Homo-oligomer: A and B are copies of this chain.
């Protein structure tokens, strides 16, 4: 059975989750968590306090799990993947801390964000600490190839974040520009997380590139769906904040597509709300109404599905095994979140 066929059947059936992935890497992930807890320590107590808050609130640990599963998919038997997965999570946490400062976010996964609790200053500096600590861990690992991959990923992420800042409130932003932003700010780290799994396993270039392509396409699909969810009724029923991107004037795909085909009063609405950031009660509902009328939420999910297909296809060259099936299911899970 090809992965693509498998993927499409699951998508139809629904119910994909990351449970299989979590079960497969549970032991390794527990070792990663130990490294994270040890290496976020500092005699400066505010650092582990703040870092611990963000890391504990910490979500699914999707990125380090990708490193763990990718290395196992490549038959890796050592333990270097544990420390490197911790590096990936440190880099991710550092960017979250800086993101929340940049976005002026009050909430992160339903909890008060670190910048709300400890102030922007601490968030910037603890982000810097975790970022540096990630590089210290990589140096201990000793692979210049891994260092090259993750230092490159880090600078591309920063470029992506700046691009996002520049396109914010710019309603002429194109789909291509949006894709450049999310490729850099999100997908690059997914790609790097998977790629280093192949590198520690010392696999041939073609396999390492396949893992990179898997991570890149998964990351793009993941971010598109995330951006759809910010306008989604489902997200609201889960108690998660909706409309953050709208309030900040972020040019995400559903909006980019809707603005491009709008005219008259509808176009003026986007100019007022996203460009001038003049927003009133009811504007978010009006925005969602426009997105639904134009079908751009569904269109965005369709785009995400294209990238998901590419991600699954990238796994085709690997032998059928629990790791490959679990990674393919993660792809489906990312898409099904949208419904």
Q: Which residues of A contact B (CB under 8 A)?
A: 42-44, 46-47, 95, 98, 101-102, 120-122, 124-126, 128-129, 131-133, 135-136, 138-139, 142, 144, 147-148, 151-152, 154-155, 157-159, 161-163, 165-166
Contact = CB atoms under 8 A, between A and B. Distances in A.
Contacts of A133: 155
Given A101-B120, A101-B124, A139 B151 contact: yes
Contacts of A148: 136, 139
Given A120-B120, A132-B155, A125 B44 contact: no
Contacts of A163: 44
Contacts of A151: 132, 135-136, 138-139
Contacts of A144: 139, 142, 144
Nearest to A137: B151
A53 to B, nearest CB: 14
Given A46-B166, A139-B144, A129 B155 contact: yes
A246 to B, nearest CB: 18
Contacts of A43: 159
A145 to B, nearest CB: 9
Contacts of A147: 135, 139, 147
28 contacts: A42-B162, A44-B166, A46-B165, A46-B166, A101-B120, A101-B121, A101-B124, A102-B125, A120-B120, A121-B165, A124-B124, A125-B158, A125-B162, A126-B162, A128-B131, A128-B157, A129-B158, A132-B151, A132-B154, A132-B155, A132-B157, A135-B135, A135-B154, A136-B148, A136-B151, A136-B152, A138-B151, A139-B144
Contact of A44 (B98, B136, B142, B159): B159
B162 A47 contact: yes
A159 B44 CA distance: 7
Nearest to A153: B132
Nearest to A165: B121
Nearest to A45: B166
Given A139-B148, A151-B135, A158 B102 contact: no
**Most chain-B CB neighbours within 10 Å: which of A44, A47, A165?**
A44
Contacts of A98: 124-125, 128
A210 B303 CA distance: 59
B120 A159 contact: no
A8 to B, nearest CB: 36
Given A129-B155, A144-B144, A147-B147, A122 B162 contact: yes
Given A128-B158, A132-B151, 7 more contacts: A44-B159, A46-B166, A95-B128, A122-B162, A129-B155, A132-B157, A135-B135
A154 B139 contact: no
Contacts of A46: 162, 165-166
A126 B47 contact: no
Contacts of A138: 151
